[in-house]
């Protein structure tokens, strides 16, 4: 395949072995976030494919998808809608269960977060098994918004996320490991 050259900011991603459980290799984005220039460069790279997409909002997935997604929304000049872990949103919510690499969980979004037909981009930090991003896609569908794409900073190949993403919605990863 045709992978772009690895950007300099990729060096700020840190591998942490056996976190949060034995056998899991965790991609830690905190060193990247802590560096102003590299954080900005990473956000610029993530927004690049979507500058002409006429988005209305970014839907960012808790927790680390909030950080990247909110920064992207600000650069694009569009709204931000949080997709949260259960029990955190005060209003009426839509809910979707999903299975992670190492546990099951649910995510929620406010039922009135966006009008039907709104043009959205779904954002998270990492694609692993794809369970989280697929659950967010399902929430977007329940909201009846138009999903223009999904964006992750890092795709972990070999965990099945890309294979499970059978949707026609483009899934863009800036780095693949």
Q: Which residues are catalytic?
A: 64, 101
83 binds ligand PRP (CB under 6 A): no
Nearer to ligand PRP, 64 or 120 (CB): 64
127 binds ligand PRP (CB under 6 A): yes
CB 54 within 8 A of CB 25: no
Closest CB 29 distance from ligand PRP, rounded Å: 9
Give buried/exposed letters for 103-128 (b at 16+ CB in 10 A, else e).
eeeebbbbeebbeeebbbbbbbbbbb
Cα-only R_g, the chain: 15
Of 175, 112, 128, 140, nearest to 26 by C-alpha is 128
Per-residue contact string for residues 150-169; x = within reach of ligand PRP by CB under 6 A: -----------x--------
128 binds ligand PRP (CB under 6 A): yes
Handedness of CA 34, 38, 41, 45 (dihedral sign): negative
| The one among 13, 61, 153, 173 contacting ligand PRP by CB under 6 A | 61
108 binds ligand PRP (CB under 6 A): no
Cβ-in-10-Å burial (0-12, 13-18, 19+) of 18 comes to exposed
Residues in binding contact with ligand PRP, number by CB under 6 A: 17
| The one among 56, 108, 125, 155 contacting ligand PRP by CB under 6 A | 125
Nearer to ligand PRP, 114 or 127 (CB): 127
Contact positions vs ligand PRP (CB under 6 A):
61-64, 100-101, 124-133, 161
């Amino acid at each position: 395949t045709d992978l772009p050259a690895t950007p300099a900011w990729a060096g700020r991603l840190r591998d942490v072995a056996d976190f949060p459980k034995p056998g899991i290799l965790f991609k830690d984005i905190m060193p990247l976030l802590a560096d102003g220039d590299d954080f900005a460069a990473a956000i610029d790279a993530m927004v690049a494919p979507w500058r002409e997409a006429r988005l209305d909002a970014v839907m960012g997935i808790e927790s680390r998808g909030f950080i990247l997604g909110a920064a992207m929304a600000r650069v694009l000049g569009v709204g931000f809608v949080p997709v949260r872990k259960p029990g955190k949103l005060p209003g009426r919510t839509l809910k979707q269960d999903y299975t992670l690499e190492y546990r099951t969980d649910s995510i929620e979004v406010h039922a009135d977060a966006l009008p039907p037909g709104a043009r959205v981009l779904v954002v998270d930090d990492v694609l692993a098994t794809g369970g989280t991003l697929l659950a967010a896609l399902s929430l977007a569908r329940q909201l009846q918004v138009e999903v223009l794409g999904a964006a992750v900073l890092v795709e972990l190949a070999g965990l099945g996320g890309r294979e499970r993403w059978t949707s026609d919605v483009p899934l863009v990863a800036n780095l693949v490991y």
